[in-house]
Amino acid sequence: MFLSSSAVSALRTSTRPARQQLPAFGSRLLSAAMASSTSADSSAAGSQTPMEDAIRSKITAALAPTKLEIHNDSHKHAHHSAMRGVTSRETHFRLVIVSPEFKGKMQPARHRVVYQLLRDEMAAEGGIHALQLRTKTPEEEAKAEAAQQ
- Does the predicted model carry a pTM greater than 0.75? no
Structural domains present in the chain: 5-148 (3.30.300.90)
Comparison of pLDDT for 114 and 19, the residue scoring more: 114
pLDDT per residue over 38-61, tens digit each?
A: 444 444 456 677 888 999 999 999
Determine the pLDDT at residue 124.
Answer: 83
Per-residue model confidence as pLDDT tens digits over 129-139: 788 999 999 99
Q: 3-state SS of the chain?
A: CCCCHHHHHHHHCCCCCHHHHCCHHHHHHHHHHHHHHHHHHHHHCCCCCHHHHHHHHHHHHHHCCCEEEEEECHHHCCCCHHHCCCCCCCCEEEEEEECHHHCCCCHHHHHHHHHHHCHHHHHCCCCCCEEEEEEECHHHHHHHHHHHC
